Amino acid sequence: MRKGQLAVETLLIYGIAILIVMLAVGALIAFGVLDLGGLLPDQCQLGDGLTCENYAVASTGVQLELRNTLGKNIQNFTIDIEGEGDNFGLWNCELTNYTTILLNGELTNPPVLMNCDVKVPKGKKIQGKMSISFYPVNSNIARSITGKIRTSVS
């Protein structure tokens, strides 16, 4: 009879100890002492047709190098980036009519420069939703691609 009581008491003590540690970690995350978003890797993902090769976000704007993988030459880009999640409203960037023709398989040269006001401190992770619309050369029908960007502010 004593063996069963000892096992239950041991499980109860360890369970309470684990619960206290989990509550402490949750409180540190809730008050912003621990930033788990900083542990996530940088990424820039777009749908089919364009790939995001290189990217940088600074407090004054965004630089993007996009590669055309659509199979056709494209032109007249409109790019819109909007903060997402915890960054909603902290950054919005818009570029209209990037008129350089982007040949199939080529990288934007010069890189796409977007001026915007990023209200996230330097060194913190930032994430946003990207929308890109463009026209294939000799076409009047716009195509759209959406994606996500997450990186540290430099």
In a structure prediction context, what are the per-residue pLDDT tens digits for the chain, which is 154 residues long?
Answer: 567 888 899 999 999 999 999 999 999 988 878 877 777 888 999 988 899 999 999 888 889 999 999 999 998 888 999 988 878 888 888 887 777 889 999 998 888 888 888 888 888 888 899 999 999 998 899 999 999 999 888 8
| Residue 21 φ then ψ, to 5° | -65, -40
pLDDT score at 60: 85
As a whole number of angstroms, the distance between CA 61 and CA 150 comes to: 14
Q: What's the burial of 51, exposed, middle or buried (CB within 10 Å: 0-12/13-18/19+)?
A: middle
Quick one: pLDDT at residue 15?
96
Is the CB of residue 83 less than 8 Å from the CB of residue 127? yes
- What are 3's two structure tokens? 């063996």
Q: How far apart are the first and last CA of the chain?
A: 64
Read off the pTM: 0.74
Residue 33, CA distances (Å) to 14, 23, 57, 61, 120 in order: 26, 14, 24, 27, 16
- Identify the CATH class of 39-152: mainly beta
pLDDT of residue 27: 92
Cβ(114)–Cβ(77) below 8 Å: no
Q: What pLDDT is stored for residue 24 in this prediction? A: 95
> How many Å is the maximal CA-CA distance in the chain?
86
Note the pLDDT of residue 1.
57
pLDDT of residue 16: 97
Going from the C-alpha of 89 to that of each of 6, 81, 130, the distances in angstroms are 55, 11, 14
Domain residue spans of the chain? 1-34, 39-152
- φ, ψ of residue 118 to 5 degrees: the values are -95, 120
